Amino acid sequence: MHGKTRKKDDNTDELIISDLGVNKESKSKRSRIFNPNTFNFNIKFFAIAVLLVIVIATAFFAIRFMSFNSMVMIWRTNLTRGSDNVNNKSVEYKSFREGLVRISNDGVTYVDKNGNINWTISYNIKEPIYSSSGKYFSIADKNGNNFYIFGEKGVTGSNTTTNPIIKTSMSDEGVLYVMQSDDNNSFINVFRSNGDIIDLSIKTNLTEDGMPIDISTSKSGEELSVAYVCLDEDVIYTKATYYNFADAGENAGAKRIVGEFTEEFNGKFIARVHHFNDKKSIIVYDGGMYYVSTDDPASPRIVNRIELKENISSISYNDRYFAMIYDDNKLSVYDDDGKELCDREIDFEYTNFYINDDYVIFLDERRVVICDSRGRIIFDKELSAYVEYVAKKKNLFFTELLVGLTDSIECVRFY
């Protein structure tokens, strides 16, 4: 067969190549396409791009595995009585988006990653409890009835509950689960980011379904796991129940229960439940952890079991990691699949320990010790002021921290 041409509307020829050969016109076009000068330029451009990627990757990993002894302050934001009561002993800091929020009994202040005070909101809360996820966070009055939902621009909603608030759990979408209790029953109600109540509720009591001791929602807000303590003929036991309030829960009955784990905890006590994301969660009990998959949201299943003989004294977790202090002076860190990343002794004093991003942070008045997720100490230094909180600040080329002090927030860079 020979090559043929077909006339197009725009007066350009479209070549139809024969299966058995290439005609002269196709060779002519090929010679125009593979111009040596253009080809050489593309090779040089590609080589430069590859070299640039290698340099950036090398710098990233060098920073990632570097230890630091010195630092310099990039900026400081002073917090006075105009932003909140800095002399209030119950003040605490929490990470939100890429900045920090400062929480007290009489208000909350949001300082962004550049040190700008974006807003300050006043309220009157005796014992604030904080929950955050994605673009939202909430502050509720523990054993009280009021709660507030916040976004980057300030309050998005608020409401008042009928019964005293015990715990809350926030989703990325601004869906807030609020656990409440009275003398005989417990209630879990659901609210939108504007504070409006959603027509979903869970009511339980000790002798029937149990009393909730912890709750955690998924990122989407469609799944909820609850740890219950139950009483059956003078026998006390705990269980973990999984609810689904989306399509997967429609065929699970009126209570929307898609999974329940009881026998796994015979003689054990569940302390925490936590969703890493929409498909992975963890149940922490006094003998270890169970990792649960909701790849099939209609059928949660245990995919990993980690048994610990030593007593767990402190735990911390975020979207990617779970860390624990056990046997008084040992640190273990696990990823969201249950893979152990580190197991090391802690040979220094601390009063506060938590995970922030991929850092494990230990605080003791002015001393700050930071480990990476593998347990390697990357920073150990005593600062000049009392440190309330430390958070990792995202920066591709530098290692920076946001440091919450008694009356200010500082951004510091390691070198």
Q: Is residue 6 part of a domain?
A: no
Is the model's pLDDT at 51 over the cut of 90? no
pLDDT at position 85, please? 46
pLDDT at position 271, please? 93
Report the pLDDT averaged over residues 61-72: 60
Backbone dihedral region for residue 234 (phi beyond 0: left; psi -120 to 50: alpha; all else: beta): left
Tokens of 106: 């009489």
Q: Is residue 407 part of a domain?
A: no
Report the pLDDT averaged over residues 24-29: 46
Q: Is residue 277 part of a domain?
A: yes
Residue 333's closest CA among 369, 361, 375, 275? 375
pLDDT at position 181, please? 93
Average pLDDT, the chain: 86
Report the pLDDT averaged over residues 135-146: 97
Report the pLDDT averaged over residues 226-236: 92
Is the model's pLDDT at 366 over the cut of 60? yes
Residue 145: pLDDT band (50, 70, 90) is very high
pLDDT at position 13, please? 38
Cβ atoms of 115 and 409 within 8 Å: the answer is yes
pLDDT at position 16, please? 33
pLDDT at position 233, please? 85
Cβ atoms of 150 and 136 within 8 Å: the answer is yes
Residue 162: pLDDT band (50, 70, 90) is very high
Q: Is residue 200 part of a domain?
A: yes
Q: Is residue 150 part of a domain?
A: yes
Q: Is residue 88 part of a domain?
A: yes
pLDDT at position 5, please? 42
d(CA 94, CA 132): 9
Tokens of 352: 């506060």
Report the pLDDT averaged over residues 232-251: 93
C-alpha Rg value of the chain to the nearest Å: 28
Is the model's pLDDT at 328 over the cut of 50? yes
Report the pLDDT averaged over residues 177-203: 95
Q: Is residue 64 part of a domain?
A: no
pLDDT at position 84, please? 47
What's the CATH number where 143 sits? 2.130.10.10
* Structural domain total, the chain: 1
In tens, the pLDDT along 373-388 reads: 999 999 999 998 999 9
pLDDT at position 37, please? 58
Report the pLDDT averaged over residues 408-412: 96
pLDDT at position 73, please? 92
Domain extent for 138: 77-313+326-349+372-377
d(CA 404, CA 344): 27
Question: Which of 31-35, 86-90, 119-123 is the most confident on average?
Answer: 119-123
Residue 44: pLDDT band (50, 70, 90) is low
Write the DSSP assignment of 101-126 as a string of letters: EEE-SSEEEEE-TTS-EEEEEE---S
CA 51 to chain centre: 34
pLDDT at position 184, please? 86
For the chain, percent of residues with pLDDT exceeding 70? 81
Higher pLDDT, 386 or 3: 386
Q: Considering only 160-164, 338-342, 397-401, which range has the smallest mean pLDDT?
A: 397-401
pLDDT at position 62, please? 47
Q: Is residue 25 part of a domain?
A: no
Cβ atoms of 186 and 194 within 8 Å: the answer is no
- Neighbour count for residue 393 (Cβ, 10 Å): 21
